[in-house]
């Protein structure tokens, strides 16, 4: 069974731009969660989607948004990028929200 796939693996963006990250969950998994990982703050929860509905949201500004499609694939969007948004963004999938299986992550660098 293929694992969680995130694309792209690396991104370099300029301040003020926007970016969209993609996550394909394990086949059959309906829950997708997003996390931001930085050296200073560790892993911080962004949001969770289940069956195309946002089920949970972390404490991030409205510039961070996401969505989930009918095939459970998910996208995360960050608008008006700031230098502090540079991080590894991880996606995790699970059947219904229990044990999470993580992707390799997308490394976003904002310059």
Partner 1 sequence: AQRVTQPEKLLSVFKGAPVELKCNYSYSGSPELFWYVQYSRQRLQLLLRHISRESIKGFTADLNKGETSFHLKKPFAQEEDSAMYYCALKGDTGANSKLTFGKGITLSVRP
Count of other CB atoms within 10 angstroms of residue 84 = 9
Compare residues 78 and 90 and give the one whose CB is closer to partner 1. 90
Per the CB < 8 A criterion, the answer to whether 21 and 74 are in contact is no
Assess 103 for contact with partner 1 (CB under 8 A): yes
- Which position among 19, 90, 108, 110 is part of the footprint of partner 1 (CB under 8 A)? 90
- Which position among 9, 12, 43, 71 is part of the footprint of partner 1 (CB under 8 A)? 43
Beta-carbon contacts of residue 25 (< 8 Å; ≥ 6 apart):
4, 31, 32, 72, 73, 74, 91, 93
- Which position among 1, 10, 28, 42 is part of the footprint of partner 1 (CB under 8 A)? 42
Calculate the CA 74 to chain-centre distance.
Answer: 8
Compare residues 13 and 88 and give the one whose CB is closer to partner 1. 88
81 pairs with which residues across the strands? none
Which residues in this chain contact partner 1 in the complex, by CB under 8 A?
A: 3-4, 33, 35, 42-45, 48, 55-58, 90, 92, 97-105
């Amino acid at each position: 069974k293929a694992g969680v796939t995130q694309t792209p693996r690396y991104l370099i963006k300029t301040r003020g731009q926007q970016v969209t990250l993609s996550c394909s969950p394990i086949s059959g998994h309906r829950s997708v969660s997003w996390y931001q990982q930085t050296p200073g703050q560790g892993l911080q929860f962004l949001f969770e989607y289940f069956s195309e509905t946002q089920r949970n949201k972390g404490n991030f500004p409205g510039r961070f948004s996401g969505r989930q499609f009918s095939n459970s694939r998910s996208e995360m969007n960050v608008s008006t990028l700031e230098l502090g948004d540079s991080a590894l963004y991880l996606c995790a999938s699970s059947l219904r929200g229990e044990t999470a299986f993580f992707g390799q992550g997308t490394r976003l660098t904002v310059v």
